Amino acid sequence: MQARIHRGAAEVGGNCIEVEAGGERLVLDVGWPITAAEGEDVVLPGVAGLADGHDPSLLGVVISHPHPDHYGLLSKVDASVPVYIGESASRILCEAAFFSSFGISRRPSGYLRHRTTFDLGPFRVTSFLNDHSAFDAYSLLIEGDGRRLFYTGDMRAHGRKAGIFEELLRRPPENIDVLLMEGTHIREDSDGSERGPSERDVEDACVDTCKETEGMVLAMFSPQNIDRLVTVYRACLRSGRDLVIDLYTAAIAAATGRDTIPRAEWDRVRVYLPRSQRARVIREQAFDRTEAVKPHRIYPKELVARRGELVMLFRASMSREMEKIACLEGARVIWSMWPGYLRDPSGEQLRAWLERLGIPIVINHASGHAFISDLQRLVRALAPNRVVPIHSFAGDRFEEFFPRVERRRDGQWWEV
Ligand SMILES: [Zn+2]
């Protein structure tokens, strides 16, 4: 079996890996590069049959998890190419496609399930559920020609599913030839000892913020970050506030298919329809969507009256609308995303608006990616013959932290 990384060997995101055995091929992830400029048209990696479906030796595309830097080019993959992804992940992307320009409404040929195996030509694919900021995320064990490649996808050990990472360490797949491992936290300036907050730390910090805030708490996080939705909901329960989500978040939460994820009909959950979502529902005549949340909706009058008892999922596009409703007196923003976004032009704009209204901003965030010390535990547990870096801006530094590292370049074929 041989493999080549098309993109991801020298950057975070945009992952695309091609594996070949007995003349047949499989693609792992077709990610959108996060380094691409806004509006840039990114072409598919040069995998035969991916764009036109004209090569029967291409058996399919396996998507590790529903983040754009792993599935974002899927819309350019020919409709005849089979796609495999988690079932909840697929439903989440389908809902996202209704509400935004992201997402995919394409019917997969099969679903990934934790520690479940399926055969595709000469390949045997086994999925391992990951703790990650994307829901229904997997690592993938690919077997072919008697060789074994373990691709981590994106993972961490400090989220709400930390137990699943520990289970992988306790019951690792054996005889791994190559561990293709993400290294988001391996950076130019890493010394290996860095650790950041865990999802539990974020929950505690959100409780503190809720208690310290007189008015409304505006929580800014990606609705697809289901771990964070649970974290913020739990902080609401602990501080006696109601969580106000929007229609998109309600749809994503329902798409998980899990009854442990906060739903519109739950106690202490309410649904607000921002103007943009209301317009979309009308444009698409999708009134079943509003009908489904009707008993749980909250309207401006209550937002004003009960502002000190609410945590609202907030996005910058709602700024003017909220200002007009006049529910922001004594408010505070919890920024629960990568702090780097605050330095983008849109982040600057948001900060200027908050400053004008005198709304303070606190950062309560946990990374979606494993810290180096956790990756070291992973490497010890899996004991692979070789470690190949991916999803890192500092792949050249892997050998300072892990044994038996072999650096590969984008586009280069190598034996597994
Ligand atoms: Zn990623």
* 108-121 confidence digits (pLDDT tens): 999 999 999 999 99
Residues 268-299: pLDDT tens digits?
A: 999 999 999 999 999 999 999 999 999 999 99
Q: How far is the CA of 151 from the centre of ligand 1 (A)?
A: 12
Q: Which pLDDT value is given to residue 124?
A: 98
Q: How far is the CA of 11 from the centre of ligand 1 (A)?
A: 10
Angle between helices 275-283 and 87-99 (to 10 degrees): 90
Q: What mean pLDDT is predicted for residues 215-226?
A: 97
Q: How far is the CA of 353 from the centre of ligand 1 (A)?
A: 30
CA dist 410 and 416 (Å) reads: 15
38: pLDDT strictly greater than 80: no
Whole-number Cα distances in Å, 148 to 30, 330, 382: 21, 57, 12
Q: In 3D, which of 110, 157, 109 has the Cα closest to residue 130?
A: 157
Q: How far is the CA of 18 from the centre of ligand 1 (A)?
A: 17
User: CA torsion sign, 34 to 36 to 37 to 39?
Assistant: negative
Is-contact 173 384, C-beta < 8 A?
no
Q: What mean pLDDT is predicted for residues 130-152?
A: 98
* Coil, helix or strand at residue 227: helix
Sheet holding 269-272, edge to edge: 269-272, 242-246, 310-313, 217-220, 332-335, 361-363
Percentage of the residues of the chain whose pLDDT score is greater than 90: 96
Please list, residue by residue across 113-132, b when 16 or more beta carbons sit within 10 angstroms of its beta carbon and e when fewer do: eeeeeeebebbebbbbbbbb
Whole-number Cα distances in Å, 87 to 24, 103, 138, 223, 308: 25, 14, 12, 18, 38
Q: How far is the CA of 391 from the centre of ligand 1 (A)?
A: 7
261: pLDDT strictly greater than 80: yes
Q: How far is the CA of 12 from the centre of ligand 1 (A)?
A: 6
Q: How far is the CA of 222 from the centre of ligand 1 (A)?
A: 15
224: pLDDT strictly greater than 90: yes
Pairing of strands 138-144, 147-151: antiparallel
Q: How far is the CA of 123 from the centre of ligand 1 (A)?
A: 24
Mean pLDDT over all residues of the chain?
96
Q: How far is the CA of 66 from the centre of ligand 1 (A)?
A: 9
Q: How far is the CA of 67 from the centre of ligand 1 (A)?
A: 7
Q: Which pLDDT value is given to residue 103?
A: 81
Q: Which pLDDT value is given to residue 249?
A: 96
Q: Which pLDDT value is given to residue 101?
A: 80
Q: What mean pLDDT is predicted for residues 351-362?
A: 97
CA dist 65 and 90 (Å) reads: 9
What is the pLDDT confidence band of residue 39, given thresholds at 50, 70 and 90?
A: confident
H/E element holding 141?
Answer: strand 138-144
Q: How far is the CA of 393 from the centre of ligand 1 (A)?
A: 12
Q: In 3D, which of 384, 405, 373 has the Cα closest to residue 174?
A: 384
305: pLDDT strictly greater than 80: yes
Residue 85 is encoded by which pair of tokens?
């992804």
Q: In 3D, which of 72, 138, 82 has the Cα closest to residue 103?
A: 72
Residues 185-212: pLDDT tens digits?
A: 999 999 999 999 999 999 999 999 999 9
Residues 52-79: pLDDT tens digits?
A: 999 999 999 999 999 999 999 999 999 9
Q: Which pLDDT value is given to residue 174?
A: 97
CA dist 51 and 79 (Å) reads: 9
Q: How far is the CA of 182 from the centre of ligand 1 (A)?
A: 8
Length of the chain: 416
Q: How far is the CA of 136 from the centre of ligand 1 (A)?
A: 14
The position carrying tokens 């978040």 is: 249
Whole-prediction pTM: 0.95
Q: How far is the CA of 275 from the centre of ligand 1 (A)?
A: 31
The position carrying tokens 């602990």 is: 238
Q: Which pLDDT value is given to residue 317?
A: 93
The position carrying tokens 């058996």 is: 59
Q: How far is the CA of 213 from the centre of ligand 1 (A)?
A: 34
Q: Which pLDDT value is given to residue 100?
A: 85
- Taking the chain, what is the end-to-end CA distance rounded to the nearest angstrom? 6
Q: In 3D, which of 135, 120, 311 has the Cα closest to residue 213?
A: 311
Chain centroid offset of residue 242 CA: 25
Q: How far is the CA of 5 from the centre of ligand 1 (A)?
A: 14
Q: Which pLDDT value is given to residue 123?
A: 98
CA dist 357 and 351 (Å) reads: 10
Q: Which pLDDT value is given to residue 244?
A: 98
Q: Which pLDDT value is given to residue 51?
A: 97
Q: How far is the CA of 23 from the centre of ligand 1 (A)?
A: 29
Q: How far is the CA of 26 from the centre of ligand 1 (A)?
A: 19
Residue 336 is encoded by which pair of tokens?
């629960």
Q: Which pLDDT value is given to residue 221?
A: 97
Q: How far is the CA of 323 from the centre of ligand 1 (A)?
A: 35
Phi then psi dihedrals of residue 176, to 5 deg: -80, 125
Q: How far is the CA of 187 from the centre of ligand 1 (A)?
A: 15
Q: How far is the CA of 333 from the centre of ligand 1 (A)?
A: 26
Q: Which pLDDT value is given to residue 409?
A: 97
